[in-house]
Every structure is written in C-alpha cells, then in structure tokens.
Chain A
C-alpha cells in the first residue's frame, strides 16, 4: 500500500515566523513531489514541486527533499495570515503519473 503521511495539525505560527510542514512517503522509487495549498471550499493550487535531493527555493517557499529518508518538507518564511490554509503533499509514484495525496496539514498564521 503506497502511503503519504502528514501531520494533520493544526500548526499554529505567529505572523512573520517560519512554518515547517513535513511529509513522509512509503515508495522508495517515487520520483516527483508536489506541495499544494488548499483554501476551504476551493481546489488545490500548486506551490512548488521538487524532483532532486536537496533544497529548492521559490520566493518565501523552500521545498526540501531527502530520498534516503523518504521525507519532503515545505518551509514558509515570513508567514502571513493569508498563508492560513491546508497544505497537501502529493507524491508521484514510480511508473505512473498518478498522485497520492497526504491528508494535509492545516496551518494557522496568527496575526
């Protein structure tokens, strides 16, 4: 059974702080990893994707991938109240174009 796990939260951080969101996955052969943000009642919107081990930065967001530990994380710097949402980790398992989504972590940024 291919699984993607996230802490459901809520994760509460003060405005301006760094929010750290974590995701683990079961299939060692997974090739690509995606972070989506979902506001209540809306569909997911892509934040960023990462394919290679290490860090990838895009504005206030940094994705970190460690394939040996089967772990991917998302850091949000200078968190804003508008970042309050559910963050979904999606993993594209080897040999398919399908995503398996984690359960999502609810982030609350306190003003």
Chain B
C-alpha cells in the first residue's frame, strides 16, 4: 500500500516565477491538506481540499492556490515567488469522517528554494 507521495522532491526557482507541486494521497484517502514548513519551524497550514473544493484555508496570500482532481490527487500552485517562499512543502492525506480520531498522514515533502 503506497503512502502519500509528492513530486518533485527538490526544486529551485527564481523570484517572480511560478511553481506547481503535486501530491498523491494514501490509498483510500479523499482529503488532502498542504503545509509549509520553514527551516527550523513547525509546519503551517496552507489549505485543505475535499471533494475537489477548498474546504479550509490558513493565513496565506492568494498567490497560493490549489486544486484537487477526481482521483483525489492534488496540486499546490504558488505564483510570483518570493525569497520567503523557500521552505519544505508537505502534503497530508486523510479519510473524511464525521467523528474525531481521523489521522493525517504526511508525504516526504518537496523542498523549494527560491533564489
């Protein structure tokens, strides 16, 4: 059973460029969340997708956008890159349930460096 996969593993971009990161959730999972982890800090929630809709969003500008496909995979897009966008971007998947106890499983991340 494949876990959460992300691509690419590493990426180097220059300021002003645009980037797309990809995530495939764990088998059986239908919800994908994205987090940004700056060096030496804890992950910060960007947004969550369920049924191809953005369900919740953290405190990130509109330069950060996403998409979820019918097969539950997801993309994170960042426009007009800034130096401060350099970070590890983590994708987490889960199975949407009405009760508590749902667990988010994380992928290995994509390390983005903006020069």
The judgment on whether A and B are partners is no
Interface residues of B (CB under 8 A from A): none
